[in-house]
Amino acid sequence: MSTISSQEVARVAALARIALTEQEVDRLAGELDVIANAVARVNEVATPDVPATSHPVPLTNVMREDVVTTPLPVDEVLGGAPQAEDGMFAVPQILGEDA
C-alpha to C-alpha distances, 58 to 42, 69, 70, 71, nearest whole angstrom: 21, 32, 35, 35
pLDDT at site 50: 76
d(CA 69, CA 25): 59
Band of residue 1 on the pLDDT scale cut at 50, 70, 90? low
Contacts of residue 76, defined as CB under 8 A and 6 or more positions apart, other chains included, come to: none
Q: Would you state the pLDDT for residue 65?
A: 87
User: Is 0.75 surpassed by the pTM of this model?
Assistant: no
Q: What is the C-alpha to C-alpha distance for residues 78 and 9, in angstroms, rounded to an integer?
A: 56
- What's the confidence (pLDDT) of residue 98? 66
CA distance 25 to 16: 14
pLDDT score recorded for residue 26: 94
Q: Is the pLDDT of residue 73 over 90?
A: yes
Band the pLDDT of 2: cuts 50, 70, 90: low
CA distance 57 to 52: 13
